[in-house]
């Protein structure tokens, strides 16, 4: 292109040409920048690895509840069963490494996730980002004093406070004669 083309382009009467040329230039830039996202295959984002709390830890919750509820006036010996909709979860910190390769006809993306570890003095352990408590589905409390409505109310209130669940998910029953057997 020659110098006279640019001089003519910046004349007041060629304002429309200038605008169209600028728009085409910016559209070309946008297409170049956006083409990688438009034409590459997108993978569904992976969830961070989840580590569940053991069944033993959930049983420990039941045992602690039995100890606490058995101290309620009039309750006597108590047995507790807690059912869970889902277990406790820990979301661990991860590091993601992506390798993208492109050939003329296809693109490939390889993703590698590794759990980030921290030195805690006794060795290395994973870094926990968030912890979620198990989701309680319901509770059955069997107590020697389970026939007394006042005791049932107290046990229900205690279970509500301990597990943060509504009263309709708690059943308080009278223990049969002879205790656990």
Average pLDDT, 10 consecutive residues per value, the chain (181 residues): 68 78 76 61 50 64 92 94 80 81 74 80 80 84 94 95 92 83 51
The pLDDT of residue 2 is 65
Note if the pTM is more than 0.85.
no
Q: What gap in Å lies between CA 4 and CA 92, rounded to an integer? A: 64
Query: What radius of gyration, in Å, describes the C-alpha atoms of the chain?
Result: 33
- Neighbour count for residue 152 (Cβ, 10 Å): 21
The pLDDT of residue 121 is 78
Q: How many residues does the chain have?
A: 181
The pLDDT of residue 148 is 94
Cα separations in angstroms, 129 against 46, 89, 91, 117: 16, 11, 6, 12
The pLDDT of residue 106 is 74
């Amino acid at each position: 292109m020659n110098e006279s083309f640019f001089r003519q382009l910046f004349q007041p009467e060629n304002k429309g040409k200038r605008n169209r040329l600028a728009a085409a230039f910016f559209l070309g830039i946008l297409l170049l920048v956006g083409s990688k996202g438009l034409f590459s295959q997108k993978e569904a984002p992976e969830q961070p690895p989840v580590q569940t709390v053991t069944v033993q830890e959930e049983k420990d919750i039941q045992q602690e509840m039995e100890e606490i509820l058995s101290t309620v006036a009039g309750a006597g010996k108590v047995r507790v069963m807690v059912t869970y909709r889902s277990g406790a979860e820990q979301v661990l910190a991860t590091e993601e490494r992506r390798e993208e390769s492109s050939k003329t006809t296809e693109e490939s993306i390889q993703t590698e996730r590794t759990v980030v570890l921290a030195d805690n003095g006794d060795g290395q352990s994973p870094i926990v980002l968030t912890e979620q408590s198990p989701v309680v589905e319901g509770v059955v409390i069997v107590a020697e004093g389970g026939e007394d409505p006042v005791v049932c109310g107290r046990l229900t209130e205690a279970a509500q406070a301990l597990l943060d669940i509504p009263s309709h998910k708690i059943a308080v029953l009278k223990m049969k004669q002879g205790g656990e057997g």
